[in-house]
Amino acid sequence: MSKMNILIIGRGGREHAMAWKVAQSPLVTNVFVAPGNDGIAESFECVNINETDTENLIQFAKENNIHLTIVGPEVALMNGIVDEFQKHNLKIFGPLVAAAQIEGSKQFAKELMHKYHIPTAAFEVFENYNAAKQYLLAKGAPIVIKYDGLAAGKGVVVAMTIEEADQALQDMLLNDKFGKGKVVIEEFLSGPEFSLMAFVHGETILPLAIAQDHKRAFDGDQGPNTGGMGAYTPVSIVPNVAIEEAITTVMQPTAKAMVANGTPFTGILYGGLILTKEGPKVIEFNARFGDPETEVVLPKMKSDMIEVIMALLNGKTPEIEWYENAFLGVVLASKGYPEAFEKGVEIEGLKDRRIEGLNTLVFHCGTAKKEGKWVNNGGRVLFVVGEGKTLADARKNAYQTVENLSSSENLFYRTDIGWQSL
Ligand code: AMP
Ligand code: GLY
């Protein structure tokens, strides 16, 4: 294979980790990230084109002889980047819009699972508030209310009481908090959650190491849902037999179901799963790499990601090799996140782009460089990953670096990442 130029689409910690991983491949010459961020730009060439500006991305890919484009965020997928690149004969790794519906429409995902007997919570879809309220009263609490559309992880309310659930229905169906849309009301499930991603091409799946995300803003899983406050791998609370079961009862059948449905999936299929007493069940699917799971799973991956993707796209089923070590990552977030927060505040301690020693990696999620100083430029600002022989060692390394960085008054982080598996 000749040397390749790679374009990564996106601007967060996930894309930083993707660029970092891809750059290690001996097959790769140049890695570009569009649009990236100032932190990513310290190590890779960032291109000032937005994720949804497909026309200019296509032009860039042609002019710069890009051999493969890998998509990070769902907005680009829903906007049809894969469909458009393919029309121009440009190689891209991600699902077509029709297949990305598995993430973009909860109704699509739920109906697919129902039709193909993929285990998930019982559910009903509503557009009308009164009908939804009737159903809620019949089912009782706890119960889960989900806005049917993209709400960046915030359109889900796990309601412990009828009042809370009713408030969510009013917000979503009467007050259009996330825009005009439908809601899915579903059965409350309990058990440890885990994220199982796989490289998928048609019916072929290559599962990745599982990770666990921490969605709530504060310690002890308190506070509002966020995009994710930390992640780690491996996840000892989920035994290997349960992972195998999830592959055979969820991931493999879903790839097959997508083909049978006429919407074959290519890209990263992300299963947000919960290990209930009856086995693993699906909470949600995403059509892309999870964030922040990717920032711990890619460091654990020993195989060359470009080699794996190219082999998969060529109809092969390569083996993926993994490092034995554990990886644990902590998000440093702007105070106020996931609600409003101040931007442009200096991040102290981040003088060098890489913190040396301690077996840590620092990925930039939302930083900017202003007059030579690092400032926050997003809700999630930095992602600090520690590596270690055990999860406890990885955790120690991650938090040592976090403590060096967190002197900034404007940042906060969870102190209990990994607690379920320690
Ligand atoms: P989602 O955006 O669908 O991943 O939901 C966000 C979070 O809400 C999940 O990570 C779970 O913690 C919780 N959740 C979603 N659906 C359910 C469910 N059916 N039962 C219990 N918790 C749920
Ligand atoms: N970490 C969950 C997500 O990427 O949606």
This model's pTM is above 0.75: yes
Residue 317 Cα to ligand 1 midpoint, Å, equals 32
pLDDT one-digit tens code per residue, 365-374:
999 999 989 9
CB atoms within 10 A of CB 48: 10
Closest ligand relative to 192 C-alpha: 1
- Residue nearest to ligand 2 atom 3, measured at CA: 290
**What is the average pLDDT value for the chain, to the nearest integer?**
94
Cβ atoms of residues 124 and 169 within 8 Å: no
CB of 152 shorter than 6 A to ligand 2: no
CB of 347 shorter than 6 A to ligand 1: no
CB of 293 shorter than 6 A to ligand 2: yes
Report the alpha-carbon distance of residue 125 to residue 146 in Å, rounded: 9
Residue 137 Cα to ligand 2 midpoint, Å, equals 31
CB of 286 shorter than 6 A to ligand 2: yes
Of 37-51, 196-210, 391-405, the poorest mean pLDDT is in 391-405
Residue 353: predicted pLDDT? 43
Residue 212: predicted pLDDT? 98
- Residue nearest to ligand 1 atom 9, measured at CA: 283
CB of 283 shorter than 6 A to ligand 1: yes
Residue 56 Cα to ligand 2 midpoint, Å, equals 27
Residue 352: predicted pLDDT? 54
What's CA 269's distance to the chain center, in Å? 10
CB of 103 shorter than 6 A to ligand 2: no
DSSP class per residue in 207-274: EPPPBEE--EEEGGGEEEE-S-SEEEE--TTS-HHHHHHHIIIIIHHHHHHHHHTT---EEEEEEEEE
pLDDT one-digit tens code per residue, 218-254:
999 999 889 999 999 999 999 999 999 999 999 999 9
CB of 202 shorter than 6 A to ligand 2: no
Residue 372 Cα to ligand 2 midpoint, Å, equals 32
What is the position in ligand 2's atom list of the atom closest to the CA of 213?
1
Closest ligand relative to 281 C-alpha: 1
pLDDT one-digit tens code per residue, 250-282:
999 999 999 999 999 999 999 999 999 999 999
Which token pair is 353? 């782009």
221: left (phi over 0), alpha (psi -120 to 50) or beta: left
What is the position in ligand 1's atom list of the atom closest to the CA of 213?
10
